[in-house]
Amino acid sequence: MITRRPHVVLLAASLVLTGCGGGAAATPERAPVTTTIRPAPPISLDVAPQQLPGLGPKTWAKVPDDARQAVVVTGRGKNSPRSTVVLYERTDAGWEAGESWPAHNALRGWTDDHHAGDLRSPIGVFGLTDAGGRLRDPGTRLPYDQGGGFTATGTGFEGEPLAGSFDYVVAINYNREPGTSPLDWTRPLGAGRGGGIWLHVDHGGPTHGCVSIAEKHMKQLLRALDPARHPVVVMGDADSLAR
């Protein structure tokens, strides 16, 4: 059942002007003159960035104008299964960053042409509209589907147990129908383009295509995401995001 619920750079630019005093040559008629330029007081600016850090023009252009929350997943490398996750909130001053959380992505890294079974996470900007999990809603404002369909079994690529991985999930709107349970398997781009890409609880190893973070961080994320702020995820390796 789906329920709906309401959630610098301290540019201490020490603009210091260090000037050397220049003196006129001493003559019997005029005493030496010394001019001193005093250091300017430090200028401290505490301003949030107007654009999400680390994004190049191509990626930034894909972020919707109405997005006021952005989960930025930055991979260590194109072929790396490790990444970091930061939730940004857009304010009148600009984008403000939350904590940085360690994460896993797909075993073989990232791709901008994802297909089923390639063991790579899709690069791009995608909406975050629906959540769910095996455990009850921890207090998210996203529609939340709780049920046994989120039970994970087996082991991961490094032999780690997968149990609990889907206790909490947020569906990433890659090749899926927004506004449905994460368990809905409608694939608008076709089954060959993969799907079922989620943010979910980390099991200690690489994923098939999802992004995983610690359980406590999943709870924080679920409680923070607000559909009224049109949240998106921006995901990919650092070099791809910088384009």
Give CA separation, 73 vs 53, 110, 232, in Å.
12, 11, 11
Instruction: With CA atoms as reference, report the closest residue to 169 among 157, 159, 186, 183.
Output: 183
Q: Is the pLDDT of residue 37 over 80?
A: no
For residue 38, the model assigns a pLDDT of 47
What are the residue ranges spanned by the domains of the chain?
A: 2-7+49-241
Average pLDDT over residues 88-100: 96
pLDDT value at residue 129: 98
Strands 2-3 and 198-201: unpaired
| Alpha carbon 153 to its chain's center | 28
Q: What is the pLDDT of residues 140-170, one digit of tens each?
A: 999 999 999 999 999 999 999 999 999 999 9
> Which residues are annotated as catalytic?
200, 210
User: pTM score, two decimals?
Assistant: 0.81
What pLDDT, on a 0 to 100 scale, did the predictor assign at position 29? Answer: 37
Q: What pLDDT is attached to residue 209?
A: 98
Mean of pLDDT values over 195-212: 98
CB atoms within 10 A of CB 126: 20
Q: What is the pLDDT of residues 104-138, one digit of tens each?
A: 999 999 999 999 999 999 999 999 999 999 999 99
Q: What count of Cα atoms within 13 Å lies in the side-chain half-sphere of residue 167? A: 16
> Chain-wide mean pLDDT for the chain?
86
pLDDT over 70 percentage in the chain: 80
